[in-house]
Amino acid sequence: MIRILTVCLGNICRSPAAEAAIRRASQEAGLEVEVDSAGTGRYHLGEPPHPRSVAAAARTGLEVRGAARQITRNDFERHDLILAMDRHNLEDLLAMAPDEDTRAKIRMFRSFDPGADGPDVPDPYYGDDDDYRRMIEIILPAAEGVVLHLTGDQPPR
Ligand code: 4NP
């Protein structure tokens, strides 16, 4: 069983959608994974995913659920792969990681998409529906790439 954690700032827009996308892609590939998500920040603790994120994901058949929480020390130990949505999240995660072993589990989520046009899943929080649609378009191939990496079909960049 591989344990994956997706991480953004608020844990209401990007990381819950990425969690759902990885869960679906792994199920389709017959890969046993446990996927969860968390935020580096504490702004929205306990809140459900953002309605625009839920709606944009639902258009592609993804069900985004959960309650926002902040990453814990236990998350760093429990998960095999910790996926940062953007470079701010990466920096924060590297600073929060308790030791070298846990730091080694942290990657940029889009590094698993060979067709990515940039390193970040841009923060859509102050954006409109189009920004959330774009967010899902970015997340889907990255999630596929994560699963291809785990099944050994695609090396990470
Ligand atoms: P997320 O989006 O990190 O993708 O969940 C955000 C949610 C909340 C805030 C920023 C980004 N905020 O500033 O409260």
Q: How far is the CA of 66 from the centre of ligand 1 (A)?
A: 15
Assigned token pair, 71? 């990453």
For the chain, what is the mean pLDDT? 97
pLDDT digits (tens, 9 = 90+) for 46-90: 999 999 999 999 999 999 999 999 999 999 999 999 999 999 999
Quote the CA–CA distance of 107 and 95 in Å, as a whole number: 14
Neighbours of 91 (CB within 10 A): 12
Q: How far is the CA of 50 from the centre of ligand 1 (A)?
A: 9
State the pTM of this model: 0.97
The protein residue with its alpha carbon nearest to ligand 1, atom 9, reads: 10
Which helix (H) or strand (E) segment is 5 a member of?
A: strand 2-8
Cα end-to-end span (Å), the chain: 23
Quote the CA–CA distance of 14 and 6 in Å, as a whole number: 9
Residues in contact with ligand 1 (CB, 6 Å cut-off)? 8-14, 43-44, 123, 125
Nearest atom (ligand 1) to Cα of 121:
4
